[in-house]
Amino acid sequence: MKLISILFLAFFSLTWGQNEFKITHHKKTVIPFQFINNLIFVPLNINGVDLTFLLDSGVNETILFSLEDKEINFNDIEKIKFSGLGESKNIEGLRSDNNVVNIGKDFQDLKHTVFIILDESINFSSHVGIPVNGIIGYQFFKDHAVQIDFVSKKITVFNDDKTFKKSKKRSIELPISIEGNKPYLMTGVEMTKTKVESKMLLDLGNSDAIWLFPKLIDDFVYNRPNIDDYLGQGFNGDIFGKRSRIHRLYLGNFVFEKPLTAMPDEYSIQNLRIVPNRKGSIGSDILRRFSVIFDYPNHKIYLRKNINFDDPFIFNKSGLDIQHDGLTWEKDLVTIETARKDKSNEGEVGYEAKESFKYNFVLKPKYSVAGCRKDSPCFIAGIRKEDKIIRINRKKVGDYTLQKINNLLKEEDGTKITFDIERNNQKMSFEIKLSDPIPYQDAN
């Protein structure tokens, strides 16, 4: 999978009820999270049922699109329609009010509104590698300062000014605007040589570094080299566009050199309601380089560098988009050493080592090729969409997590990776030689 930008930028035609999360007992609450492919996943409980939700500052409301095999009793339901990134216009769904939602031990809303998507094809779990049930956005952030520590993988929600002031020491304070219940920051975008002040959405639900909207930028010219690519999946379908690099990005006094940039085509954003003067988005591949505090009530964000700050911006160099296809039982052969007691000629007791075998059956993940970009290393090697992956570098694919596979596909140029695949009941082997399709080049 190309470090897929799973974009959930849904918008709603109206602003719904006054949900409010409260910390029930303490000055702050700490919530652990999983960080997979630059996306944050938090444990969330709705009406007594444990689920996993994406934390996304780019959505207004709490959205449920999958229950797996679980059942939830929802309250006060009515039909609605909503839309977002993608090619189709709208999606039918339900709105349910007055639900009890808990996040962590003591962060709770007793009258939470949940929007339920009825289209079963909208499910992002296969591109993440864990079950994902939905998304939570503005309601999580709106009433408290929220600190995200990408190193410790913990979120701290503050309920006390004194505790909050201690945590924001040594951080750089920047003003943000909250428009349409989403946070925006003025940044400097330097395509080649000229820095342009640009209003950008701060979007935790975007795994890329930067998104720019060419149709909204005067005299926009794509930097070279660039590639046509699949950028991700939104509520309304697949998102396509180009990928390239820009010269620099400025967040206050912080400067990023040669960040990767995705640019969706006009069809992918045609149904997206865009606030005035917005030029694009800052995604999690930028934000993960800081300890970040979102302070919606005071319209501020606090940034402090972490150990990831100087990480290079690395692209999936294979052209492969790999998806998780669920779990399967695999038979592992286990060797067990035993000992047999024998008497020697002298009457002493001795031991003779023996080996026996038994089979363990364990659940392992399955993977297949969701896409292979034309003219990329995987395409040139001969791998195609829907190929089932059996082994990678002669190792059973079930021994890999999706994150490990994606990391492998971003290794240095020239790295060779072998894939054993199954296609139409035939087994084949291919070798991919990684090559960055968009290395940065200075403008002449």
Which mean pLDDT values do the consecutive 10-residue runs of the chain (444 residues) have?
A: 35 49 86 94 94 92 84 86 55 86 91 84 72 92 95 94 89 95 95 90 94 86 86 71 93 94 81 84 96 96 96 91 77 56 53 56 80 92 94 92 91 94 94 90 56
Sheet holding 145-149, edge to edge: 28-32, 154-158, 145-149, 290-295, 300-305, 172-175
Distance CA 425, CA 422 (A): 6
Query: Measured in whole angstroms, how far is the alpha carbon of residue 328 from the centre of its chain?
Result: 24
**Shortest CA distance to 66 belongs to which of 38, 44, 35?**
44
Tokens of 171: 């951080």
Residues 6 or more apart in contact with residue 312 via CB below 8 angstroms: none
CATH classification (class only), 320-328+364-433 = mainly beta
Residues constituting the chain: 444
Beta-bridge mates of residue 39: 36
Residue 372, judged by CB atoms within 10 A of its CB (0-12, 13-18, 19+), counts as buried
Q: Looking at residue 25, what is its pLDDT?
A: 73
Beta-bridge mates of residue 91: 82
Q: Looking at residue 131, what is its pLDDT?
A: 85
The CA-atom distances, in angstroms, between 397 and each of 368, 418, 419, 433 are: 10, 11, 9, 19
Distance CA 202, CA 288 (A): 12
- Tokens 């719904």 correspond to 16
Q: Cα 215–220–225 angle (5° rounding)?
A: 115
Three-state DSSP class for 16?
A: coil
Distance CA 412, CA 415 (A): 6
Please tell me the pTM assigned to this model: 0.84
Q: Say yes or no: do domains 5-167 and 175-291 share a fold.
A: yes
DSSP state for residue 242 in the 8-state scheme: E
Domain boundaries, the chain: 5-167, 175-291, 320-328+364-433
Instruction: Give the number of other CB atoms < 10 A from CB of residue 12.
Output: 20
Assign domain 5-167 to its CATH superfamily: Acid Proteases (2.40.70.10)
- Tokens 């229950």 correspond to 67
H or E element at residue 378? helix 377-381
Strand pairing category for 237-245 and 107-117: unpaired
**37 backbone φψ class: left, alpha, beta (φ>0; ψ -120 to 50):** left
Strand pairing category for 395-396 and 388-392: antiparallel
Distance CA 200, CA 325 (A): 35
Beta-bridge mates of residue 286: none
- DSSP per residue over 26-73, as a string? SSEEEEE-EEETTEEEEEEEETTEEEEEEE-TT-SSEEE---TT----
Assign domain 175-291 to its CATH superfamily: Acid Proteases (2.40.70.10)
Alpha helices in 157-228, H assignment, sequence order: 161-167
